[in-house]
Structure 1
Amino acid sequence: MSEIIVQQNIGDISGLSLVETKQFLDNRGFFTETYNEKGFLENGLTHHFIQDNEVHNRMGVLRGFHFNQIRPQAKLVRVLSGKIFDVVIDMRKNSATFKKKFWIELSGDNRLQLYIPEGFAHAYLALTDAVVLFKVTTHYIPGDEIGFAWNSKEFGIPWPKLAMGYVLNEKDRLNPDYSKIIC
């Protein structure tokens, strides 16, 4: 058995899980096993990850909301350094929790990982400079990703206020309100 603890169906959303790992400390620093396929399978986390993505964010960077419609993508998100406000929304139309949202603070200090099943929209705000690592189950497919505005009225996400405001790329800044997308 690996050294992970999995809280399943967090936020009462089927499949959404929080992963905690054990930290082994000694005079050199620490060791943490962040992913162990056998341990994940034993805890019902069955997606096969094929790629890791590392993202460096300045404080105030807001990314998302994005999700893949044709080839949904599961993710395992963790923060290597810094702190983010991470948000997911269940976009699975046949789910009892369709459009239900969940948010959590992930940081290099708390070492929590968010296991996001296929079919969820994902966004996050860098509360400090932050390095985010996420494992994914599919490669990027041009034209498959759908985006909608981070502040879509339907969801009322309580984004933390930052004195400096938010930094968005042009694509995210131009994403329409959720009410205007067709999926």
Structure 2
Amino acid sequence: MLVFWKQRLVMLMVPKTGTSAYEAALGPHAAMVVNDPPELKHAPVYRYNRFFRPMFERVGGADLELLAVVREPISWLGSWYRYRQRDFLDGRKTSTKGVTFDDFCQAYARGDRPPFANVGSQAKFIEPRPNGVSITHLYKYENQSGLLDFLEDRLSMKIDLPRENVSPRRATKLAPETEEKLRRKCAEDFEVWDRAL
């Protein structure tokens, strides 16, 4: 999470949407960088609302806007799948070694996901809270130029974006019936991506 206090902006870090690169580029310019533990670095709207918003409101931050980036859902799952192929996960229940991408997506679309496919939901990450706290600015990962334009304008600076935390390349082909199942079972994630800028 990056907090730009003077600019009244908080960038929430949706996992697997290139946020590590933004943290590297913008961290030195942020008023606050939350990069550990992962549960706080990747705090979704509900966790921001519960822990951070009350603290910020007490010191005059009631009008902070929230920014998030979402990725096309199949591409997002592909990034998780590739990330979980890394050697450091060998032997763990979260590893996807020995699992095809199609099997990974089939497991993700189930109600009771096995550990290797339990990677959350972008729609749940940005879900508005009953008290009205919600994402103010929602960008597609695939629209990096639009996101950069917004941030450069809002932060009054030129941003040089490095490549960070890039998942290894792997085949991520889906059977048509698997894609159809994902689109049906995870419709909220596709709707969120469709409405992002």
**TM class by smaller structure:** under 0.3
Write 1 or 2 for the structure with the bigger share of helix: 2
What is the TM-score when the length of structure 1 is the normalising length? 0.28
What is the TM-score when the length of structure 2 is the normalising length? 0.26
> Rg bigger for which structure?
2
